[in-house]
Structure 1
């Protein structure tokens, strides 16, 4: 079975100016993928980073810069308001890799999922780390065309190239998966 995995589609992550400019297009594309998943009865897995105020769970750069994002209970940790997700499974993570320290693997196994379509932000961080970890767990992975982005186009392109060359994870459209 195939599942759509949505990574970090949260207010804080789409707030920087370079990503804010991409928000509308990203939301449209992600919603198209969600609608596709619903139409094909594929589970939708929503993964969000949510950090407590306790600095011990913050990533190193957040601690060093004293600039956390997606703090628990803040508007920035919330799912983008424009999306109609209705997730079948919701996962809260603390690190880039959605499998690290979560029950994502167990939840996917419970649903008999062995193929993932990944969408979200940012391509070179949480998307790439989750996609690489999914490969390590023997999932077939595709990257959702138009539904992953970054504020750094070079890093975005490099991450997609790396995922394709290293893990055979292609960027695909819903129509390509339907064939």
Structure 2
């Protein structure tokens, strides 16, 4: 048990996302993706509401969404830079999992806890992909917050939002590390 604990701890202390633009082929096939999705859904879920769902976007869907992002950018009057940024993650991506926050009516479980559970799915799926040796990145971007894009492109209901889009593929380069938080500056100990 100590080796597993040490291995998990070492992974979590050194994990780093791979920028989506650095992800290429191959991507996990359905058989390789299923264990990652299974691990991704093992998250805190107060009340067992399962207030989330997943959409796996394969290449053809990514291409369709890239075109829709360009169309929506024009409809919204966004500048060219924002239009390109909104479509790029779909245009250059080969596989992504959209984690959808899909809250359920509940008198006991607050909406915020349900949304946090969807966020936990994002991190759990991201870590599962990285631990399995894939490159992965958690993105959102303006299309993830545009109701019309969500309805037309992803079929989301009015009560649903995108918690994150997890891109998964093969890292084409070693990702650069970035400055990490100073734990001592971010943690306060309360003893009484």
TM-score past 0.5 threshold = no
Flag the structure with higher strand content. Answer: 1
TM-score scaled by length of structure 1: 0.31
Higher relative contact order (CA 8 A, sep 6+): 2
What TM-score do you get using the length of structure 2 for normalisation? Answer: 0.29
